[in-house]
Amino acid sequence: MEVGLNENIIQLDEVGAAADFDSAAFWTRFQHRSVALDGVRLHYVEGGQGEPLLPLPGWPQSWYAWRLVMPMLADAGRRVIVLDPRGMGDSDVGSGSSGSVSKGISCPP
């Protein structure tokens, strides 16, 4: 099975799992960073050059969910910035919170 992104291809095994993550190669191209916004420290991982692209992790994921795609996006000439959502990964929950980021989330009836 192959999954394509333009001319770049990720090789998947028979159960659809991507190749092993090469941490050493990844960290030569990407860096951990953080920014404080309204008293909340948000963590992100950034690398590449060019037009910025901001992939967003799904709930309850962190930047790590994008680790296999990030090098391909950088190879395609993009600056890739993947943020850990508030309360996920290495980002702070924030002051005045009970520690649960789901508290206060409501669905309309």
User: What per-residue confidence (pLDDT) applies to 11?
Assistant: 53
Does 22 have pLDDT greater than 70?
yes
Range of the domain at 28: 21-95
User: What per-residue confidence (pLDDT) applies to 103?
Assistant: 42
**What tokens does 31 get?**
């860096």
With respect to residue 55, please indicate whether it lies within any of the assigned structural domains: yes
With respect to residue 3, please indicate whether it lies within any of the assigned structural domains: no
Spatial distance between the Cα atoms of 94 and 7, rounded to a whole number of angstroms:
41
- Ramachandran angles phi, psi of 53, nearest 5°: -135, 130
Q: Specify the pairing of strand 51-53 against strand 78-83.
A: parallel
Which of 102 and 39 is assigned the larger pLDDT? 39
Does 91 have pLDDT greater than 90?
yes
Q: Which residues pair with 50 in a beta bridge?
A: none
User: What total number of domains does the chain contain?
Assistant: 1
Q: Cβ(47)–Cβ(30) under 8 Å? A: yes
pTM of the prediction?
Answer: 0.70
The H-assigned helical ranges of the chain are: 23-27, 70-75
With respect to residue 1, please indicate whether it lies within any of the assigned structural domains: no
Grade residue 1 by pLDDT with cuts at 50, 70 and 90.
very low
